[in-house]
Structure 1
Amino acid sequence: MSENRAFDLIGIGVGPFNLGLAALVDNVSSISSIFFDKEEAFNWHPGMLIEQSDLQVPFLADLVSFADPTNKYSFLNYVHNQNRLFQFFFYRRFDIPRREYNLYAKWVSENLENCHFQSEVISVEYTGNGYSVKVKRTDTGDVSTYHAKHIVVGTGSIPFIPDGIEKNEQVVHTSEYLHKEKEMKASDSIVVVGSGQSAAEVFYELLEEQKHNKYSLKWYTRSSIFSQLESAKLGQEVFSPDYVQYFHGLSYEKRKEALNRLDTVRNGVDKETLVKIYDLLYNRSVEGRDEKITIQPLTEVKEINESNGVLEVSCKQWEKEADFKVKADYVVLATGYKPHIPQWVWDKKEELVWESEKEFKVDEMYRLVWKEPRSHQMYISTNLEHSHGTAATNLSLAVMRNQTIINDVAKREIYPIQKDTIFQQFMPNT
């Protein structure tokens, strides 16, 4: 690790967002940087790297290409480096396997000298002329102190577990699915809960494997239908710098209303996944309906209790207000994620401006807004949907966010951000 413990920028967390920032800033000689993550190495949702599951955005939404297509850390350079460029060419698809995206990001992290793993940030304190950052090595326990002019918080998200439900060895979030799949497939009954892409991928994988096993398979969601993700090209333009700028300029109330309206582009299942599920169900039904398969919307899972190794799942069909219970050996929760905000951010709650009880104010440059203005910024890429819209978690727009942060730190335009990039407009010309 560098002997120079003073940096222009310190990144906390090395997920895809901060990894992209680390890759882009690596080319900027005027900005010194270092990034810390407590994990042993980069690994993106390892519990959901199911074979044949694809990234929901095209490969161009890699870590750097929207800012700099010639960057050596582009996905195309990765497949070239792996001697797979011709294979990728003949693959003739815009989307790529999630497992390949994970390996690509691992390759980037291993080639960047400014990314350090097994390094947990335990405190961040404002000193008046920057930030004092304490970092603990998870392998040795050693604690070091670093100084940063600016901080960028990229601590990502953690699994969301609904109220009334507790995780245990038999109640598994999708983030841990692959770690438990062998035990599940050897059981007699599995329930999948949720309606999004992760739920559909787990259900399809279990549906395929059901013919080799004896388990019954149930899929419940409280959504009224198993809906398809909006993929119309004009509809997708909300994932653009132009819309992000428009969205951020709305009042807090209007932004929250807009998020509700944009649900069809935020949540749902890819058309291809739904088609594969239906086709498999249809083929299975040729010789009669399979009584060991249940698919039911309009159903909320209220509580899960365990007794003698068997789970009792309490449900409610909310439209008919009908309560019922089912038995299961395993329940897979495809209930999504919630922002992971470090405790040292919550400890500074009284110093920050908040838009709601859990949503801090973030300016257009992705800076936390302090009651007492600072020239040394704390940028953030977590908990941004209320401020920057549904695109806050989109991989391609993470690149634009990183461009914005680098330009703001440098006080000049290192990476120009393109505007007027789409065919529609959101305000009349004046």
Structure 2
Amino acid sequence: MTGHDVIGVGLGPFNLGLAALLDPVGDVDAVFFEAAPRFAWHPGLMLPGTTLQVPFLADLVTLADPTSRWSFLNYLHERGRLYRFYFYERFHVPRAEYDAYARWVAESLPSCRFGARVTAVEPDGDGWRVSVETAAGVEDHRARSVVFGVGTRPAVPAVARPVLGQDVFHTEDYLTYREKAVTASAVTVVGSGQSAGEVVADLLEAGLPGGLPGGLTVDWFTRSRGFLPMEYSKLGLEHFTPEYTAYFHGLPPSTRDELRAGQDLLYKGLSAETSERIYDLLYEATVDRADPPVVYAGACELRSIEPSPLPGRRWRLHWHHRDQDRAFTRDTDVVVLGTGHEPAPLPVPSGLVALDGAGRPEVALDYRLTLASGAPSTLFAQNAELHTHGVGAPDLGLGAHRNSVIVNALAGREVYPVRDRTVYQSFGGPLA
């Protein structure tokens, strides 16, 4: 059985950033396992023209170590694109380029192993036995510490789960089934976040140029009260900082849940650019023409899906308007679920990790999972702590900070400085 100081489970951007920051730390032996054959970041949403919603400085390493060889700027330099990026003059880079950058890091780091699925993590003395399934068979590894970066999975409403397939699918699979959507007669998009908005914009660009009637019919409904922009003011962005994370973590669990319930637009919602793009498409399509067959409305909750009785339609969707307390139905051919994501389950034995009253893992401020036994923990989690650390948990901009904290804990010393003060705002009440 091969032994390591640390094993990473999963290789999304957060654990990949950890692998990059551990690369120069010679006294920490680390290996990272990922079931997929290669790095791919939300491949189903790599639509042309889409960009990151955070600046390029929120790469894998820069906010922890701007001198790292694994920075986005060094990627551009090694690819001969630095001057081109200089003239590009954009702070928010194409989503496809972020994916290419992260793939370059993943393929360059010797600690990253793809095509290796972790099937179990179990206690083994003062460490952990990690079972890994590869094409060659099952192998066991041992580690003093384990960092889970298993990420999230599509959140699918219960009413849609029985009918998931090629014409009812999550936005995560949009590019896979896009041809079916853009060639359908009627498409319904559910949700009002960025992914849903990008799908709507793509459908409009595909369906509006030919005019109407007889073109693509688009319904766009959301349970939220409207199609609202994500908060992107400078003072609002200070919530995505180590100070706010520490403040939020120090609050009682009930207060944290109450607070986060009102913060959706800090990390959800549409970008201003996507909102403008959709409106402009609709405006230009109505110059000297009738309104297109596009209906969008907020406060609409999907209650059920059943086969449509109408000839030529595939599904009948039953909706409930939350404000008017009124039911209505719409018939469609394709349903695209922009209903967000939820934490993926951790591959650990039941009862190992302490859970809160809502069944969520308890996560310490330094990102250690609390063990149900009360023993000191050497299990860490990435992007599984929205309920304990606040809205910054899934944000790429805080990934390097979280990894600095984890690296320092793994090494038992300060490898990367963790700043005490990064913003002007005070989140707690002023001290007397």
Is the shorter-chain TM-score for this pair beyond 0.5, marking a shared fold? Answer: yes
Look up the match of 1:161.
Answer: 156
Look up the match of 2:322.
Answer: 318
CA contact (8 A) 1:165 1:302 kept: no
Cα distance in 2 for partners of 1:226, 1:383 equals 27
- 2:141 aligns with one of 142, 146, 152: 146
Runs of 5+ unmatched residues, structure 1: none
Cα distance in 1 for partners of 2:178, 2:160 equals 20
Look up the match of 2:127.
Answer: 130
Q: Secondary structure at the match of 2:251?
A: coil
Cα distance in 1 for partners of 2:241, 2:316 equals 45
Look up the match of 1:385.
Answer: 386
Look up the match of 1:327.
Answer: 331
Q: Secondary structure at the match of 1:390?
A: coil
CA contact (8 A) 1:221 1:298 kept: yes
Cα distance in 1 for partners of 2:249, 2:290 equals 50
Q: Which AA in structure 2 matches 1:93?
A: R
Q: Secondary structure at the match of 1:392?
A: coil
Cα distance in 2 for partners of 1:329, 1:304 equals 12
TM-score (norm 1): 0.95
- 2:65 aligns with one of 55, 64, 68: 68
Query: Greater shift after overlay, 57-66 or 124-133?
Result: 124-133
Q: Which AA in structure 1 matches 2:218?
A: L
TM-score (norm 2): 0.95
- Quick one: structure 1 residues 376 and 424, their matched pair in 2 at CA, closer, same or farther if it must change by over 3 Å? closer
Cα distance in 2 for partners of 1:135, 1:262 equals 38
Deviations 1:235-269 (A, max 9, x none): 11000111111111111111112212322212211
Cα distance in 2 for partners of 1:332, 1:264 equals 22
Look up the match of 2:207.
Answer: 210
Deviations 1:48-105 (A, max 9, x none): 0111011111100000001101111101111111111111111111101111111111
Question: What is the CA-CA distance between 1:220 and the residue it aligns to?
Answer: 0.8
Cα distance in 1 for partners of 2:373, 2:149 equals 23
Report percent identity of matched pairs.
38
Question: What is the CA-CA distance between 1:429 and the residue it aligns to?
Answer: 3.1
Question: What is the CA-CA distance between 1:5 and the residue it aligns to?
Answer: 1.5
Q: Which AA in structure 2 matches 1:316?
A: H
Look up the match of 1:336.
Answer: 340
- 1:182 aligns with one of 179, 182, 191: 179
CA contact (8 A) 1:299 1:317 kept: yes
User: How many residues are matched?
Assistant: 422
Look up the match of 1:88.
Answer: 85
Deviations 1:184-212 (A, max 9, x none): 11111111110111111110111111135
Cα distance in 1 for partners of 2:42, 2:260 equals 25
Q: Secondary structure at the match of 1:108?
A: helix
Cα distance in 2 for partners of 1:96, 1:355 equals 38
Question: What is the CA-CA distance between 1:372 and the residue it aligns to?
Answer: 3.0
Deviations 1:264-317 (A, max 9, x none): 212211111111111121111221332411111121121122358711111122
Deviations 1:95-139 (A, max 9, x none): 0111111111111000000000110111111112201111110x3
Cα distance in 2 for partners of 1:47, 1:222 equals 23
CA contact (8 A) 1:341 1:382 kept: no
Q: Secondary structure at the match of 2:393?
A: helix
Q: Secondary structure at the match of 2:110?
A: coil
Cα distance in 2 for partners of 1:426, 1:299 equals 34
Look up the match of 1:363.
Answer: 364
CA contact (8 A) 1:149 1:376 kept: no
Question: What is the CA-CA distance between 1:373 and the residue it aligns to?
Answer: 3.8
Question: What is the CA-CA distance between 1:179 and the residue it aligns to?
Answer: 0.7
Question: What is the CA-CA distance between 1:28 and the residue it aligns to?
Answer: 0.3
Deviations 1:133-188 (A, max 9, x none): 11110x33x11111100000110011011121121221010000001111211111
Question: What is the CA-CA distance between 1:411 and the residue it aligns to?
Answer: 1.0
Question: What is the CA-CA distance between 1:352 and the residue it aligns to?
Answer: 3.0
CA contact (8 A) 2:56 2:92 kept: yes
CA contact (8 A) 1:5 1:145 kept: yes
Look up the match of 1:31.
Answer: 28
Cα distance in 1 for partners of 2:376, 2:253 equals 25
Look up the match of 1:348.
Answer: 350
Q: Which AA in structure 1 matches 2:272?
A: K
Cα distance in 2 for partners of 1:302, 1:296 equals 15
Q: Which AA in structure 2 matches 1:203?
A: V
CA contact (8 A) 1:313 1:326 kept: yes
Cα distance in 2 for partners of 1:296, 1:182 equals 25
Q: Secondary structure at the match of 1:313?
A: strand
CA contact (8 A) 1:226 1:268 kept: yes
Cα distance in 2 for partners of 1:288, 1:322 equals 32
Cα distance in 2 for partners of 1:371, 1:135 equals 24
Look up the match of 1:429.
Answer: 431
Query: Greater shift after overlay, 155-164 or 256-265?
Result: 256-265
Q: Secondary structure at the match of 2:67?
A: coil
Question: What is the CA-CA distance between 1:398 and the residue it aligns to?
Answer: 1.3
CA contact (8 A) 1:130 1:376 kept: no
Cα distance in 2 for partners of 1:377, 1:79 equals 36
CA contact (8 A) 2:370 2:377 kept: no
Q: Secondary structure at the match of 1:126?
A: strand
